[in-house]
Amino acid sequence: MIKAVDLVKDFGKRRAVDGVSFEVEKGTVLGFLGPNGAGKTTTIRMVAGFLPPTEGNVFVKGINVASDPVAAQKSIGYMPETTPLYEDMTVSGFLRFLAEVRGFSGTERNSRVERAIERCFLHPVRNQTIDTLSKGYRQRTCLAQTLLHDPDILLLDEPTEGLDPNQKQVVRDMIKEMASERVVMLSTHVLEEVEAICTRAIIISAGKVVADDTPAALKARSPKYNAVTLTAEGEGIADKLGKLPGVKEVHALEDGKIVAFPKAGKSIAADVLGTAQQNQWKVSDIKVDEGRLDDVFRQITSTEDSKKKEVA
Please identify, using beta-carbon distances, which residue of 41 and 145 lies nearer to ligand ATP.
Answer: 41
Q: Shortest Cβ distance from residue 171 to ligand ATP (Å)?
A: 18
State how far the Cα of 174 lies from the Cα of 194, in Å rounded to an integer.
15
CB 47 within 8 A of CB 65: yes
CB nearer to ligand ATP: give 158 or 289: 158
Q: How far is the CB of 15 from ligand ATP (least distance, A)?
A: 8
Least Cα distance to 199 among 16, 3, 31 occurs for 31
Output the CA–CA distances (angstroms, integers) from residue 51 to 2, 55, 115, in the order listed.
Answer: 16, 12, 30
Tell me the closest approach of the beta carbon of residue 38 to ligand ATP, in angstroms. 4
Minimum distance of ligand ATP from residue 203's CB (angstroms): 11
Which residue type is seen at 32?
Answer: F
Closer residue to ligand ATP (CB): 43 or 73 = 43
Phi/psi of residue 188, nearest 5 degrees: -160, 155
Instruction: Assign 145 to helix, strand or coil.
Output: helix
Cα–Cα separations (whole angstroms), residue 291 to 24, 31, 217, 295: 26, 18, 10, 8
Question: Which CB sits closer to ligand ATP, 33 or 228?
Answer: 33
Shortest distance, CB of residue 72 to ligand ATP, whole angstroms? 20
Contact 148, 113 (CB under 8 A): yes
Sign of CA dihedral 47, 168, 113, 100: negative
DSSP 238-283: HHHHHTSTTEEEEEE-TTS-EEEEEPTT---HHHHHHHHHHTT-EE
Q: Select 33 or 117, whichever has its Cβ closest to ligand ATP.
A: 33
14 vs 309, beta carbon nearer ligand ATP: 14
Which positions lie near ligand ATP, rule CB under 6 A? 11, 14, 16, 34, 36-42
Q: How far is the CB of 31 from ligand ATP (least distance, A)?
A: 13
